[in-house]
Amino acid sequence: MNQGSSTGTILEIRNLCVDYLTEKKPVRAVDRVNLTVKRGETLGLAGESGCGKSTLAFSILRLHKPPALIPEGEVIFNGEDILCMDEERLRRIRWNDISVVFQSAMNCLNPVVSIRDQMCDVILAHRNISKADAVAQAANLLERVGISPDRMNDYPHQFSGGMRQRVVIAIALALDPQMIIMDEPTTALDVVVEREIMAKLEELKHQFGFTILLITHDLSLLGEISDRIAIMYGGRIVELATSEQVILDPKHPYTNGLINSFPLLSGEKKVLSGISGFPVNLWDPPPGCYFAPRCEACMDICKRENPPLIEIEPGRQVACHLFPTPEGGAE
Amino acid sequence: MGFLVRRFLFYLAAFLVAITVNFALPRLMPGDPFEIMFAAAQGKITPEQLPALKAQYGFVEGPWYVQYGAYLKSVFTWDLGPSVLFFPTPVSEVIGYALPWTLFISGSATLISILIGSLMGIYAAYHQGGWFDKLASPTFLVLGAFPAVVMAMILFYIFGLVLEWFPISYGYDPDLDPGWNLTFIGNVLYHAILPILSMVLISIGGWLFHMRNSMIHLLSEDYIRMAVGKGLSRRRVMFQYAARNAILPVITAVSMAIAFIVGGAIFVEIVFNYPGLGNLMLKGVMVRDYPLIQALMLIIVICVLVANFVADLLYLWLDPRLRQ
């Protein structure tokens, strides 16, 4: 791994917006997101369906498709803005430096091309080695994720769902990337297979030392494997803290609601409450805090002004009017 | 393998049904071809000669199953009797001369329209709503709605009669001696351009449209996004990932249209007086050459079935999910 001079930041998302163009007006799916990913960490990104977490993940590598477009923002990877790169530079960054494990393992392998060719094509697209070496490398990767290299010539439909997800992870590891974006890598799988995959991932992270941006709506999973968690609501980051802080001491009312919607594996029994109301309609968003209509602690200011994401203590950020800026100056 | 065997048995059954219809049709039609021939001969054939005439054309007296057995035998031994028009040349020989011409123009027209049509479809899908898509897609859709005969006549009139750029008749210049030399091959190609072009122009739209729609549907698949994410070249994503998958439903759609392609070839040949099966069929119908017409029907059935079988093989080759 190239550890570089800065052990600190690997990826910095600054003021990123993503709009979906519709007939009438653009709908903002990701709204001025600022997020810093530290080298070597596992950063979790959680939120309800439709909160913009996958859109955010795709836009990092510019994998968003029309009608989505990025009107403003920066995605700084190792000091370079990915959003400003030309096609060829971007092509080289993709997978070589940042790879992606997609949501649906069932659908993200090409059904008519063998596993071997799908692994070799990405190796050969980035490395100047012979086909035979690429095949050997692919065999090695499959072995690492626990799939027999004999099965390399098989096609995706000949594998089970869990195996396919492991193949996808093997492909994601193919070029020894610095960072892997995982978009709900285990959503399509049952809990037993999910556990198996996540354990494998931990082990591989240990070996390779990559950084993970893990996107999921499964907070209990995040609590176990991530270092920090960012909570997203309506395209905005509403809270960012260490996993422990988020799970045990959530600050934002929305995070609190999320935590109370599922049972923790460890810890005492509690009554699950959930969150009333419906997710914000981004077609016609309220003027103030997006969560205000569902929030039990809603105040007058919440309906008028959107709270900025501020640091309430070192390394801990919340966007909520309940937490005024420490200096008491800005708002 | 099971897939292939099943398909083969299916085509065998289809073939048997088709030749049975081919056998039954002339016999169900009112009137007897030999009575017509007898009348047409205006006394040159005596009633006593009639049974001999029937026997010569392969029409056996007796109950239908005896006739059917004789017919099946003639089909499988390819001994289809003499042609009336080209008497005494056997029908099989007459067809053997015309078949290569038809295979040549309809085969090249199909290959050309597959190649150009699907490439245009891929391009139109990739730049959906772009100028090419807006212009080419509707244009070829309109051209595809033309019956083959109309398209052939338009080209015949414009490029053959008015502009005189291309010959309007025959497969090659009658002054030339057939042979494997450049002059002759060039001349054959020159004569084939308009017939092939008419067939390409009407069939290309189908490929373009099927390919375009199939591609647009596929481009939203996760494996396409992953392929882009993998940093593969645009060309590789387009062909190995998108087009490889998009072509599967297109093959099915087009293999069902093969009968129309063959049907189109017949009219195109008639318009351009091309020495293929279509022209032969017209001549055969004019003089009621029953053995010839029946054999032509048989050949067309075989062509359609073989083309479908080839499409199946292609499908099998391209889609590993069928190989088990």
pLDDT in tens, B204-231: 988 898 899 999 988 888 899 899 999 9
Instruction: Tell me which residue in A94, A103, A109 faces B229 most closely, judged by beta carbons.
Output: A94
Mean pLDDT is highest, among A27-36, A101-110, B72-81, for: A27-36
Q: What residue of A is the nearest CA neighbor of B316?
A: A112
Mark yes or no for CB contact A113/B221 under 8 Å: no
Instruction: Tell me which residue in B228, B233, B320 faces A63 most closely, judged by beta carbons.
Output: B228
Mark yes or no for CB contact B227/A126 under 8 Å: no
Q: What is the mean pLDDT of residues B128-157?
A: 89
Instruction: Tell me which residue in B220, B226, B231 faces A126 most closely, judged by beta carbons.
Output: B231
Angle among Cα A252, A257, A259 to the nearest 5 degrees reads 95
Mark yes or no for CB contact A155/B230 under 8 Å: no
pLDDT at position A329: 44
pLDDT at B139 over 50: yes
Mark yes or no for CB contact B222/A94 under 8 Å: no
Residue A294, SS3?
helix
CA distance A172 to chain B (A): 8
Confidence class for position A4, pLDDT limits 50, 70, 90: very low
CA distance B223 to chain A (A): 4
pLDDT at B178 over 60: yes
Residue scoring higher pLDDT (B133 or B58): B133
Residues 6+ apart with CB under 8 A from A132: none
CA distances (Å), origin B193, targets A283, B138, B143:
57, 24, 18
Q: What residue of B is the nearest CA neighbor of A109?
A: B223
CA distances (Å), origin A264, targets A39, A80, A232, A255, B200:
28, 40, 20, 14, 66
pLDDT at B276 over 70: yes
Selected residues 213-242 of chain B with any CB under 8 Å from a CB in chain A:
220-223, 225-233, 236, 240-241
pLDDT at position A123: 94
Q: Is A234 left (phi over 0), alpha (psi -120 to 50) or beta?
A: left
DSSP assignments along B208-266, one per residue: HHHHHHHHHHHHTSHHHHHHHHTT--HHHIIIIIIIHHHHHHHHHHHHHTHHHHHHHHH
> Is A142:A149 a contact under the CB 8 Å cutoff?
yes
Residue A235, SS3?
coil
Query: What does the mean pLDDT of chain B come to?
Result: 84
Question: Domains in chain A, please, with CATH?
Answer: 9-97+178-318 (3.40.50.300), 108-176 (1.20.1580.10)
Mark yes or no for CB contact B221/A107 under 8 Å: yes
pLDDT at position A202: 87
Residues of chain A positioned with their CB less than 8 A from the CB of B127: none
Mark yes or no for CB contact A112/B321 under 8 Å: yes
pLDDT at position B320: 87
Residues of chain A positioned with their CB less than 8 A from the CB of B230: 94-95, 99, 121-122, 125, 171
pLDDT at position A267: 64
Residues of chain B positioned with their CB less than 8 A from the CB of A122: 230-232
Phi and psi (nearest 5°) for A20?
Answer: -105, 120
Instruction: Tell me which residue in A61, A111, A157 faces B229 most closely, judged by beta carbons.
Output: A61
- Interval A243-294: pLDDT, tens: 989 988 888 999 988 888 877 666 667 777 778 888 888 888 888 888 888 8
- Range(s) for CATH 1.10.3720.10 in chain B? 100-322
CA distance A133 to chain B (A): 18
- Interval A66-117: pLDDT, tens: 788 899 999 999 888 999 999 899 999 999 999 999 877 778 899 999 999 9
Q: Which of the residue ranges A267-276, A301-310, B297-306 would you say has the lowest mean pLDDT?
A: A267-276
pLDDT at position A140: 92
CA distance A216 to chain B (A): 17
Residue scoring higher pLDDT (B55 or A254): A254
pLDDT at position B124: 92
- Packing angle of the helix pair B290-318, B91-126 (nearest 10 deg): 40
CA distance B220 to chain A (A): 9
pLDDT at A327 over 70: no
Q: What is the mean pLDDT of residues A145-151?
A: 91
Residue scoring higher pLDDT (B24 or A153): A153
Q: How much is the ipTM here?
A: 0.84
CA distances (Å), origin B259, targets B42, B200, B278, B309:
39, 15, 13, 13
The number of C-beta contacts closer than 8 angstroms across A and B is: 81
What sign results for the dihedral spanned by CA atoms B249, B252, B255, B259? negative
Q: Which amino acid is at B224?
A: I
pLDDT at B127 over 90: no
DSSP assignments along B274-306, one per residue: -SSHHHHHHHHHHTT-HHHHHHHHHHHHHHHHH
pLDDT at position A6: 47
Mark yes or no for CB contact A121/B230 under 8 Å: yes
Q: What percent of chain B has pLDDT over 90?
A: 12
pLDDT at position A262: 77
> Is B98:B279 a contact under the CB 8 Å cutoff?
yes
Residue scoring higher pLDDT (A154 or B71): A154
- Rounded CA gap, B263 and B246, in Å? 27
- Rounded CA gap, A305 and A311, in Å? 18
Selected residues 242-271 of chain B with any CB under 8 Å from a CB in chain A:
244-245, 248
Mutation for B interface: A108, A154, A175, most B CBs within 10 A: A108
pLDDT at A330 over 70: no
Residues of chain B positioned with their CB less than 8 A from the CB of A107: 221-223
Confidence class for position A2, pLDDT limits 50, 70, 90: very low
- Rounded CA gap, A112 and A90, in Å? 27
Mark yes or no for CB contact B240/A110 under 8 Å: yes
**Which one, of A187, A327, A307, lies nearest residue A239 by Cα?**
A307
Residues of chain B positioned with their CB less than 8 A from the CB of A103: 222
Class of domain B100-322: mainly alpha
pLDDT at position A1: 40
- Interval A163-208: pLDDT, tens: 898 899 899 989 999 999 998 887 767 788 788 888 888 888 988 8
Confidence class for position A237, pLDDT limits 50, 70, 90: very high
CA distance B222 to chain A (A): 5
Instruction: Tell me which residue in A65, A91, A102 faces B231 most closely, judged by beta carbons.
Output: A91
Q: How many C-beta atoms surround the C-beta of residue B42 within 10 A? A: 7
> Is B206:B122 a contact under the CB 8 Å cutoff?
no
Is B129 near chain A, with CB under 8 Å? no
Q: pTM score, two decimals? A: 0.79
Confidence class for position A331, pLDDT limits 50, 70, 90: very low
Q: What residue of A is the nearest CA neighbor of B241?
A: A110
- Rounded CA gap, B178 and B263, in Å? 28
**Which one, of B238, B218, B225, lies nearest residue A183 by Cα?**
B225
Mark yes or no for CB contact A93/B233 under 8 Å: no
